[in-house]
Structure 1
Amino acid sequence: MCELLGMSANVPTDICFSFTGFLHRGGGTGPHRDGWGIAFYEAGGYRDFRDPHPSVRSPIARLISDYPIQSHIVISHIRQANVGGVRLANTHPFTREMWGKTWCYAHNGQLEAWQGLPLAFYHPVGDTDSEHAFCWLLGTLRQHFPHLPDANDTQRQACWARLHALCEELRSLGVFNMLLADGDYLYTFCSTKLAHITRRAPFGQAELSDAELTVNFAEHTTPADIVSVIATEPLTSNEAWVRMQPGELLVWHQGRIVARFTAEEKGADSPQ
Structure 2
Amino acid sequence: MCQLLGMNCNTPTDIVFSFEGFRRRAGLTDCHSDGFGIAFFEGRGVRIFRDNHAASQSPIADCVKQYNIKSLNVIAHIRKATQGGVTIENTHPFIREIWGQNWVFAHNGNLKELPDMSESFCQPIGSTDSEAAFCYMAEYLKNRFRRKPSEIEIFEAIQDITKELSQKGTFNFILSNGEWMIAHCSTNLHYLTRKAPFGKAHRIDDDGVIDFNDYAKDGDKVTIITTFPLTKDEPWVKMEHGGFVFFKEGDKIAEVVGVAKEMEDDGTLGNRAAA
Q: Alpha carbon RMSD of aligned pairs, Å? A: 1.4
Deviation at 1:162, TM superposition (A): 1.2
CA distance in 1, matches of 2:182, 2:142: 16
Amino acid in structure 2 at the alignment position of 1:76: A
Question: Which residue among 167, 171, 174 is the counterpart of 1:176?
Answer: 171
CA spacing shift, 1:236–1:73, aligned 2, 3 Å: same
CA spacing shift, 1:43–1:6, aligned 2, 3 Å: same
Aligned to 2:205: 210
Question: Which residue among 209, 213, 231 is the counterpart of 1:236?
Answer: 231
Aligned to 1:268: none
Q: State TM-score, norm by structure 2.
A: 0.91
CA distance in 2, matches of 1:187, 1:196: 11
SS in 2 for 1:235: coil
Deviation at 1:238, TM superposition (A): 1.1
| 1:246 is the counterpart of 2:241 | yes
8 Å contact kept, 2:200–2:211: yes
CA distance in 1, matches of 2:75, 2:143: 25
Please list, as runs of the form range in 1=range in 2, the aligned pairs for 1:17-28 lying within 5 A after superposition.
17-28=17-28
Aligned to 1:114: 114
Question: Which residue among 209, 216, 220 is the counterpart of 1:221?
Answer: 216
CA distance in 2, matches of 1:127, 1:115: 14
8 Å contact kept, 2:202–2:209: yes
Aligned to 2:140: 140
SS in 2 for 1:56: coil
Amino acid in structure 2 at the alignment position of 1:219: D
SS in 2 for 1:176: strand
8 Å contact kept, 1:118–1:136: no
Aligned to 1:94: 94
CA distance in 1, matches of 2:129, 2:140: 16
Please list, as runs of the form range in 1=range in 2, the aligned pairs for 1:5-84 lying within 5 A after superposition.
5-84=5-84
Aligned to 1:269: none
Aligned to 1:3: 3
Amino acid in structure 2 at the alignment position of 1:194: L
Amino acid in structure 1 at the alignment position of 2:175: L
Structure 1 residue runs without a partner (length 5+): 150-154, 265-272
Deviation at 1:118, TM superposition (A): 6.8
SS in 1 for 2:159: helix
SS in 2 for 1:165: helix
1:141-199 alpha-carbon deviations (Å, 9 max, x no partner):
110011111xxxxx432221111111111111110000111111111011111000000
Amino acid in structure 1 at the alignment position of 2:128: T
Deviation at 1:67, TM superposition (A): 2.5
CA distance in 2, matches of 1:119, 1:67: 41
Q: State TM-score, norm by structure 1.
A: 0.92
Amino acid in structure 1 at the alignment position of 2:127: D
Structure 2 residue runs without a partner (length 5+): 260-275
1:191-220 alpha-carbon deviations (Å, 9 max, x no partner):
111000000000000000012110000110
Aligned to 1:165: 160
CA distance in 2, matches of 1:230, 1:174: 21
Give the percent of matched residue pairs that are identical in Structure 1 and Structure 2: 43
